């Protein structure tokens, strides 16, 4: 074999082998250098270094309505923070604080001052309402002081704690103490920077940015403040955010929350917290024992939270809010205007509150959910404003739509009728003679508004005959009756994502019961107390041929930029909660009778809705209680192919016409949006 043929056959493998041997030899030499020659140096270097992980807040996800119109978003806020990690051993923290005071004085910018002691006339005073904070201070965690210690004694103890007791400038001394005190409260450390000032102006940001180039312990951080664009649109549903309490931190620290993080407190902000929060960013920094930052080891950017789409239509919600407020005022004014004719009997002058809910029959999504009186969520954190809300006897913070449980009155009669048909206690044509006073149980006499004479199911529902339904209740018995109530969602959680009341179902939830109580329960009295959202769910179930879906407020959840869907409550695949397995004919009898409540000139809703362009099925209700009667109204439309169901309740509304007017306004906004918008624009 000649030389050329040898290299032609073995040349490439030989060259590859040589290259591998060279690299392997270099690697061995480097290991020897690291471990044997310079081993002591690197061991000392490692022993004097430490890694610190700094976190950066994620942008909270937005909350939008079903069409993507923003409800809750974020505004940019510039803050200046002090990073203890970058403060060397030769730098005193008090000197850094004084330096910050000097910087902020250029534009009279405010720093965070929460010390419960202020200077007054050359002396010191405790701030108003600081008793709880002072009590925690004197327990020995911060200071060992007596119950009757003066503000000056507190300051002197703080001065000693923070090494400023010899400072002649008492104002500066007090301010340094304030910052150091707050630093301790906030857990200021190498991994927890301290926010010195918030909401900085652009000029102030420029000044600090220029200064901080040579002072790595100062940093301008972009944060985001939660803002609600329409504070009174849906405050009870939306909820708010706030700093973690100590208890919340204990519950959530394993979920990636830092001590000073923001969390949803109630409403959607709380219900969708896991989606809205986002993921904090991290920066791992290596620092030597003498305080020198050596390098940034790793950076993991923050990930914004998801965007939550509600099922609420902002346009419908505005209509519900406006109409509810106007009709409550109208009901109250009517009571005032007619008071002279009635003597001591109330007829609406005490009407100050109510609720309205509109659902989609297709999937039981909440299209509008209003509670009145309401409040302004943008002012919720204002202490003075919040105090006025707490003191308001009309309870504006109380969510009547979801948490308010009220006697429903006659709106329960359709389900009582269906139960009676299904259980065979009557047929649709069985006559019952109404003599106006039902006294089968002398201790539970039921009075009817009119002397109806002989009525069957259709006429009894149209005219809301108490006598007829009291007899049905007696024949059914309470156990059978409340089982049907449960199936349509009365006295049951609807499934809505935010907090709601379960209400009270007569018989099932009652402490005691007699047969006579049953006749009261069958006309929506006794212990029956249901929420407006339960009444809307019940009405939608009747409209949906007995199939009850999960009532819900969240339509879908997407990525922050709305490009990717994370969760979707598909309207074409609603979650079935319960199915009324009843005879379709019996259900049609009840549905047709509800239609006649509006369509027949004997119907109790005839004068309000008989002329409505879309066919409506409904039931009116009046519930007795202390003060004026509550008025309740449920309806669905179109009758032939239902799309929406509505429940309206006016506390002490007395006259049902005002509840019906709220429902009519909502129907207008849904079926004739262009006409409603044109009318609204013309009156503005």
What average pLDDT does the segment 265-280 reach? 91
Instruction: Share the mean pLDDT of the chain.
Output: 87
- Tokens for 26, please give them: 């270099």
Q: Which residues contact 178 (CB under 8 A, 6 or more apart)?
A: 113, 114, 115
Distance CA 662, CA 666 (A): 6
| Euclidean distance between CA atoms 661 and 356, whole angstroms | 11
Q: Give the pLDDT confidence score for residue 544 in this predicted structure.
A: 97
Give the separation between CA 662 and CA 145, rounded to whole angstroms.
Answer: 61
Contact 357, 533 (CB under 8 A): yes
Q: What confidence category does residue 14 fall into, taking pLDDT thresholds of 50, 70 and 90?
A: low
Confidence grade of residue 682 (pLDDT, cut at 50, 70, 90): low
- Residue listed under structure tokens 């009778």: 593
pLDDT of 15 = 67
Compute CA distances 114 → 139, 176, 184, whole Å. 19, 12, 12
pLDDT in tens, 129-173: 777 777 777 665 667 777 788 888 888 888 998 999 889 899 999
pLDDT one-digit tens code per residue, 368-401? 999 999 999 999 988 899 999 999 999 999 999 9
The structure tokens 């009590």 sit at 135
Q: Which residue has the higher pLDDT, 374 or 625?
A: 374
Stretch 267-293: mean pLDDT, rounded? 73
pLDDT digits (tens, 9 = 90+) for 531-569: 999 999 999 999 999 999 999 999 999 999 999 999 999
- Whether the CB-CB separation of 252 and 273 falls below 8 Å is answered with no
- Region 21-25: what's the mean pLDDT? 70
pLDDT bracket for residue 245 (50, 70, 90): confident
CB of 523 within 8 A of CB of 408? no
Give me the residue label for tokens 């405050």: 235
Q: Please give the full DSSP string across 382-451, using - where no structure is assigned.
A: -HHHHHHHHH-TT-TTS-TTTT--B--GGGGHHHHHHHHHHHTS--TT--EEE-SEE-SSGGG-EE-SS-
Residues 369 and 359: their CA atoms lie apart, in Å, by 9
Contacts 24+ apart (CB under 8 A), 271-276: 271/239, 271/497, 271/498, 271/553, 271/554, 272/61, 272/63, 272/308, 272/497, 272/554, 272/557, 275/61, 275/305, 275/306, 275/308, 275/557, 275/566, 275/567, 276/60, 276/61, 276/63, 276/305, 276/306, 276/308
Backbone CA torsion sign across 555, 557, 561, 564:
negative
Alpha-carbon dihedral angle through residues 539, 545, 547, 550, given to the nearest 10 degrees: -40
Q: Are 621 and 522 contacting, i.e. CB atoms less than 8 angstroms apart?
A: no
Distance CA 147, CA 5 (A): 102
pLDDT at position 3 is 53
Q: Which long-range contacts (CB under 8 A, 24 or more apart) does 673-682 make?
A: 673/315, 676/319
Total count of residues recorded for the chain: 684
pLDDT tens-place string over residues 340-363: 676 667 888 999 999 999 999 999
**β 307-310/63-64 pair status:** parallel
Predicted local distance difference test score (pLDDT) of residue 45: 47
The reported pLDDT for the residue numbered 46 is 47
Residue 309 clears pLDDT 60, i.e. is over it: yes
pLDDT at 47 over 80: no
Partners of 74 in the β-ladder? 226
Residue with tokens 């914004």: 304
Mean of pLDDT values over 209-221: 81
Predicted confidence band at 224 (pLDDT cuts at 50, 70, 90)? confident
Query: What's the pTM value of the predicted model, to 2 decimals?
Result: 0.83
User: What local confidence, expressed as pLDDT, does residue 230 receive?
Assistant: 93
Condensed to tens digits (0 to 9), the pLDDT of residues 490-506 reads 999 999 999 999 999 99
> Does residue 324 have a pLDDT over 90?
yes
Percent of the chain with pLDDT over 90: 58
Give tens-digit pLDDT for 581-617. Answer: 999 999 999 999 999 999 999 999 999 999 999 999 9
Query: Looking at residue 11, what is its pLDDT?
Result: 62
Query: Which DSSP symbol is given to 550?
Result: P
> What confidence score (pLDDT) does residue 42 get?
45
Strand-strand pairing, 565-568 and 554-558: antiparallel
> pLDDT band at residue 529, thresholds of 50, 70 and 90?
very high
Q: 40 falls in which pLDDT band (50, 70, 90)?
A: low
Q: Give the span between the Cα atoms of 107 and 207, in whole angstroms.
A: 9
Angle between helix 151-161 and 170-185 (nearest 10): 70
pLDDT for res 41? 45
Supply the pLDDT for residue 12: 66
What whole-number distance in Å separates Cα of residue 640 and Cα of residue 620? 20
Say which residue, 192 or 315, is predicted with more confidence: 315
Query: Taking the CB of residue 322, how many other CB atoms lie within 10 A of it?
Result: 16
Q: Is residue 93 within 8 Å of 164, Cβ to Cβ?
A: no
CB 529 within 8 A of CB 406: yes
């Amino acid at each position: 074999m000649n030389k050329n043929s040898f290299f032609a056959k073995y040349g490439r493998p030989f060259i590859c082998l040589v290259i591998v041997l060279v690299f392997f030899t270099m690697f061995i030499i480097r290991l020897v250098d690291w471990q044997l020659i310079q081993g002591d140096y690197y061991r000392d270097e490692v022993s004097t270094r430490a890694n610190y992980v700094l976190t950066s807040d994620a942008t909270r996800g937005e909350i939008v309505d079903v069409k993507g119109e923003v409800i809750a978003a974020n505004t940019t806020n510039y803050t200046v923070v002090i990073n203890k990690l970058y403060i060397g051993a030769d730098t005193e923290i008090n000197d850094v604080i004084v330096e910050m005071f000097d910087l902020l004085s250029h534009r009279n910018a405010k720093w965070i001052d929460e010390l419960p002691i202020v200077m007054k006339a050359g002396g010191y005073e405790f701030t108003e309402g600081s008793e709880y904070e002072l009590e925690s201070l004197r327990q020995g965690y911060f200071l060992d002081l007596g119950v009757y210690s003066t503000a000056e004694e507190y300051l002197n103890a703080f001065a000693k704690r923070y090494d400023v007791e010899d400072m002649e400038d008492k104002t500066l001394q007090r301010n340094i103490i304030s910052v150091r005190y707050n630093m301790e409260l906030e857990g200021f450390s190498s991994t927890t920077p301290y926010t010195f000032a918030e909401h900085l102006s652009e000029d102030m940001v420029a000044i600090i940015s220029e200064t901080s180039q040579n002072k790595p312990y100062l940093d301008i951080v972009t944060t985001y403040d939660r803002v609600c664009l329409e504070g009174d649109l849906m405050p009870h549903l939306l909820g708010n955010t706030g700093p973690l309490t100590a208890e919340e931190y204990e519950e959530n620290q394993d979920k990636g929350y830092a001590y000073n993080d923001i969390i949803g407190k109630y409403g959607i902000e709380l219900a969708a917290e896991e989606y809205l929060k986002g993921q904090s960013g991290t920066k791992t920094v290596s620092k030597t024992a003498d305080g020198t930052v050596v390098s940034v080891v790793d950076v993991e950017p923050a990930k914004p939270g998801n965007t939550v789409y509600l099922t609420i239509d902002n346009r419908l919600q505005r209509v519900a809010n406006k109409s509810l407020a106007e009709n409550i005022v109208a009901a109250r004014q009517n009571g005032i205007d007619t008071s002279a004719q009635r003597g001591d009997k109330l007829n609406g002058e005490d009407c100050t509150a109510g609720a309205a809910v509109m659902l989609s029959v297709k999937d039981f999504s909440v299209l509008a959910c209003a509670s009145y009186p309401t409040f302004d969520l943008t002012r919720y954190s204002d202490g003075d404003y919040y105090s006025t809300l707490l003191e308001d006897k009309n309870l504006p913070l109380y969510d009547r739509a979801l948490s308010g449980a009220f006697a429903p009155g006659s709106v329960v009669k359709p389900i009582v009728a269906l139960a009676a048909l299904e259980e065979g206690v009557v047929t649709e044509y069985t006559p019952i003679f109404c003599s106006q006073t039902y006294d089968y149980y002398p201790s539970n006499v039921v009075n009817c508004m009119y002397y109806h004479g002989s009525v069957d199911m259709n006429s009894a529902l149209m005219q809301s005959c108490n006598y007829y339904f009291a007899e049905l209740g007696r024949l059914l018995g309470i156990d059978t009756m409340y089982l049907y109530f449960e199936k349509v969602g009365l006295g049951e959680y609807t499934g809505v994502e935010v907090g709601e009341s379960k209400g009270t179902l007569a018989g099932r939830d009652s402490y005691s019961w007699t047969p006579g109580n049953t006749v009261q329960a069958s006309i929506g009295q006794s212990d029956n107390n249901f929420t407006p959202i339960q009444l809307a769910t019940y009405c939608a179930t009747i409209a949906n041929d007995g199939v009850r879906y999960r009532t819900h407020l969240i339509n879908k959840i997407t990525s922050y930029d709305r490009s990717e869907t994370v969760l979707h409550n598909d309207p074409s695949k609603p979650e079935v909660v319960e199915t009324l397995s009843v005879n379709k004919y019996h259900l049609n009898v009840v549905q047709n009778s509800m239609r006649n409540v509006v369509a027949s000139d004997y119907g109790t809703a005839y004068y309000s809705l008989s002329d409505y362009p879309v066919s409506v099925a409904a039931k009116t209700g009046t519930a007795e209680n202390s003060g004026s009667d509550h008025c309740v109204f449920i309806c669905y439309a179109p009758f032939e192919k239902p799309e929406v169901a509505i429940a309206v309740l006016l506390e002490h509304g007395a006259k049902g016409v005002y509840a019906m007017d709220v429902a009519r306004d909502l129907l207008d906004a849904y079926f004739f949006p262009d006409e409603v918008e044109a009318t609204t624009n013309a009156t503005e």
